[in-house]
Every structure is written in structure tokens, then in C-alpha cells.
Amino acid sequence: MNFSRQDFFIPQSIRRVRSTSFRLALPMAMSTLLFSPLVRAETVPEIVKPSEQVKKDKKAKKQKDSEKTVAAVQKSGSSSTETLTVTGTRLSQSRLTNVMAGVTVGADQVRKRGYTDLGLALLRENTAFSLGDQSPIGGQGLGAGQSFVSLLGLGSQRTLTLIDGMRMVGGASASVYGAGSGSQVDVSAIPTSLIKSMDTRIGGAGAAYGADAVAGVVNYQLDDHFTGVDMTAQGGWTQSLIAPSEKITFKYGHTFDHDKGGAVLDIEYRNAGGVVYNDLPNTLGSNATSYQRGPLGVSTPYTYMLEPSARNLWASVTGIPGLTGTDIPIYKGVNDGIPNAAGQPLMFSQDGKSLVPVTWNYLTKTGYNASGGNGLATRDYNQLYAPSSQLNLTTLGHYDFTDHLHATWQAGTPVAAPVVRSGRGHGQHPILVTALWTWTAI
């Protein structure tokens, strides 16, 4: 048998290769068994991560599609029912652009309720209003026949009045009866027949307009686009058939230059008879029962008592003469006055030609007030409703030069003549002519 060198080494090399393969396979198998959980734990996030990313992408896409749908709905419905109210600010950003509490009183409400004074209309239709420094109703005492409005009880000097978004000149009269501490506007000079709406915004306007708008802003919008002819007349009385009132209005409007412009002429006459305490003598006037000091010389545990027919003895309508003029004529009897033979103080008669005695039932502890008699009943001079008579002549107009350039104008002559009753005299406001031109470029 012959063996070659090559044949001798072949089996040996094969055995070596098999042995090496076995030696390498065994550690690899052991490492696979030992470290396979670690490998599996590391590879799990790599498998789950693409699934979460797909969910996030789907959610983002769904949200984006929803936003597109909402935007499309808003765009389609934005021109249908949206209403924008402008109160007159020229600032690009202010607190007026935020949500503010407000109430709007329309022309239909004013007409149906038969209001002859816009101040009374706001006072009755909006609970945020209270009596101003001057009002035709209430306990204003010696009123001047004017009507100021007051929001939130802060006073009429803190309530701003605008007409079509523009300020109006103050209307406080130069007298002790109508003077105010601010630039209050007499809203009774605004014609009720031209009102389109009265928009009230409460609070938040002081930063834009100043201290006179701390309480709020009232914007009176006038109907300067009226066309046609309108004439109305109304009248009324109180439940006691006193204080007759009437209002007559005439309004004419016409357009020109192919409806680019228009003008409105308004004439309004108002008259109110007024009610004073003397019209109701037993409940409010001279015969009414009121709290007064107790009777002079009578001991009582009460400082004030209900006394009928209160009278004032230190003054009278006709006059009480005095001896020296340095003291009141009557104080706990005759003081500086002129007595008659019976010791009674004297005063001038109604015609001023003689002297008549001043009488009373009993004096009060003040010494110059009494119950009953012919003394002065100051209660008769208080007003429940101030009498007045007013005539308004107003013209409005507008013209559209282009789609972006507009002009408006207003002019009026409110003539007021408040009637003062019960011996107070009478007076009349001066004629006030106002004219206003406005150019608006958009």
C-alpha cells in the first residue's frame, strides 16, 4: 500500500477544521442563550417607536383638518348675522376693544313708550342709571328744567355723552339751579324723533376718553339716512289729570345725486306742565304731615315728631318787616319784627299795601318754625316733575364722495324755556346753534 504526502495530511486537516468550527460554535451558542434577553429588550423600542410616530402623525393630521373645517365655516357665515357697534374711539388698541357690559335702547322702544325726554328713557329702561345732578323728576329741589344722566351713581360729571361717536358741548346752565361740577350734557336738547339707538357701555372707557368717562359712555346715534315724511303728535296727563304734556314732531328726509348724499330736517316741539308739591297739598304740599321738632315749651322724649302743616316763620313770599334788620323778625315770638296790639308779629299782605298778623297753631323748639297758620310752606316749592317747554330745529346730512371718503354734518338750534312755578320767577336758555362737519376716509 502506497501513501502519498498529500493523502497523509488531508484527513488531519479535515479533523482540524471540524474541531475549530465546533470550538467557535459552542461559545456563540452560549452567548446567544445568555444575552438574548438583553438583545430582545434593546430591540423592542425600535419596533414600537415607528407605531407611536404613526399615531402622532394621524392625530396631527386630524387636528389640522378640523382647523381647516372651522375656518371654512367661519368664513362662510361671517357675513350673515355679525353686528359691530362702534362707540367712537380713535385708538387702534384700547380697552374698548374688549368685552364690555352694555345695553342698547332702540328707537322703537322710545316711540312705543312715548318718551319725551331721553334722560327719562334711559333712567327707566336701564337700571344702571340713577338721577343726575339735574333731572326733570325726583328730589332735585330747585330744578332748571335740564336732564343730565348718571351711570352707577357716580354722578353726571363721570358719564360721557357722545352723539354719533363725537363729543357734545356741555349744557350746564350758569345758575345756582343748573350748575354742575363737570361738562354734563343736557340730553333733553337731543330730539327724540331722530334717535336711532342709544348705546350704553359701562366702565372701562376712562383710559380712552378721560375722567368724564369713568362711569361709562352713552352714544346717541341719529338717523341721518332717513327718507320720506314723518309727523307724530302725542299728549298725556297724570293719573290725577294734572300736568298736561304734549309733543309734536315733523321729520323730512331726501336723497340726492343718485343716493350718494342725503339730508334730514327735523322740527320737534315739547311741552310739559310739571307737577309741584302744591298740586298735591294733602300728601306732599302745605297740609302734609312731616317730621318736625317738638312743640316749644313741651317736654317730650323725642327730638322729632310727626307734625301737620309745617310752616316757616323767618321768611314769607310778601316779606316780614324788621326794626333793625340785624336779626330775624320772628324767633320764639316777636324778635326783631313789628308786633300788633295783641303782640303778634306782622307781615305784608298779598297786595303789599297793609300789614297782617302772622298766625300759627304752636311754635316748635327751633323757635322759627311752626305748625299750621299762614306762614310760609316751603314744601309747596319742591318739584315732582319740572315744567318745561322746548323747541328743537335740527338738520342732518351725509355725502359719499367715493367708496372710501364720506362726509357728514349736523346743525341744530335747541331753544328751551323752562317754566318755573310757585313764585320762583321764570327764565329761558339762550339759543344755542351747533354745527359739525366730519370727514371720514376709509
Q: What is the tens place of the pLDDT at every residue in 29-58?
A: 555 555 444 444 444 444 444 566 666 676
Q: 286: number of CA atoms within 13 Å, CB side?
A: 14
- Let me know: does 403 contact 418? Beta carbons within 8 Å: no
Residue 267 and residue 134 share a domain: yes
Residue 138 resides in a domain: yes
Mean pLDDT check: name the lowest of 134-143, 152-161, 285-294.
134-143
Percent of the chain with pLDDT over 90: 17
Task: Say which residues have a Cβ less than 8 Å from residue 216's Cβ, sequence separation at least 6.
Answer: 128, 151, 152, 159, 160, 200, 201, 202, 203, 205
**DSSP, res 98:** S
Residue 260 and residue 352 share a domain: no
* Distance separating alpha carbons of residues 425 and 349, to the nearest angstrom: 19
Indicate the SS3 state at residue 296. coil
The pLDDT of residue 431: 37
Mean pLDDT check: name the lowest of 98-112, 114-128, 272-286, 301-315.
98-112
- Let me know: does 407 contact 438? Beta carbons within 8 Å: yes
The pLDDT of residue 427: 37
Residue 210 and residue 156 share a domain: yes
Question: Which of 376, 404, 424 delimits the end of a domain?
Answer: 376
CA nearest 201: which of 83, 85, 108?
85
Q: Which three cell numbers stand for residue 142?
A: 330747585
Residue 249 and residue 201 share a domain: yes
Residue 11 resides in a domain: no
Q: Which three cell numbers stand for residue 220?
A: 346717541
* Distance separating alpha carbons of residues 76 and 70, to the nearest angstrom: 10
Counting the structural domains of the chain, the total is 2
pLDDT, tens digit, for every residue of 73-96? 555 555 566 777 666 655 555 444
Task: Say which residues have a Cβ less than 8 Å from residue 199's Cβ, sequence separation at least 6.
Answer: 85, 87, 102, 104, 218, 219, 221
Indicate the SS3 state at residue 253. strand
Residue 367 and residue 396 share a domain: no
Name the residue range of residue 197's domain: 98-277+385-441
H-state helical runs in 164-274:
206-209
* Distance separating alpha carbons of residues 304 and 291, to the nearest angstrom: 6
Task: Using pLDDT thresholds of 50, 70 and 90, give the confidence band for residue 412.
Answer: confident
Q: Which of 61-70, 206-215, 340-349 has the highest mean pLDDT?
A: 340-349
Q: What is the mean pLDDT of the chain?
A: 76
CA nearest 136: which of 390, 317, 380, 379?
390
- Let me know: does 216 contact 201? Beta carbons within 8 Å: yes
Residue 320 and residue 406 share a domain: no
The pLDDT of residue 205: 73
Residue 296 and residue 203 share a domain: no
Residue 436 and residue 341 share a domain: no
Residue 255 and residue 147 share a domain: yes
- Let me know: does 151 contact 158? Beta carbons within 8 Å: yes
The pLDDT of residue 354: 92
